[in-house]
Amino acid sequence: MNDQIFETVITTVAADGTPHVAPFGVRYRGEQVVLMPFKPSATLDNLRSTRHAVLNLTTDTRVFAGAVCARWLGPRTWPLLPAQA
């Protein structure tokens, strides 16, 4: 497994349809993306519930910083679109 962690923003949806945006580090193992969510976390709960997520790679550091700071500053409403695949 590649030990390098890529900082991303992951978008998941709760069982009730509520979207959740969070900063997320991922690793790659060949062609696969390895997710290692914290226990406990809303991201892990959502992944277990829906088995789906969108991994967002961004060069806009404001998006990543906003996801990081939401924990202390309160949730932010992000403009989201449904995933197509």
Q: What is the pTM of this model?
A: 0.80
Annotate the chain with three-state secondary structure: CCCCCEEEEEEEECCCCCEEEEEEEEEEECCEEEECCCCCCHHHHHHHHHCCCEEECCCCHHHHHHHHHHHHHCCCCCCCCCCCC
Mean pLDDT by 10 residues, the chain (85 residues): 84 93 91 91 95 90 82 75 84
pLDDT score of 45: 97
pLDDT score of 2: 63
pLDDT score of 83: 85
Domains of the chain by start residue, with CATH: 6-73 (2.30.110.10)
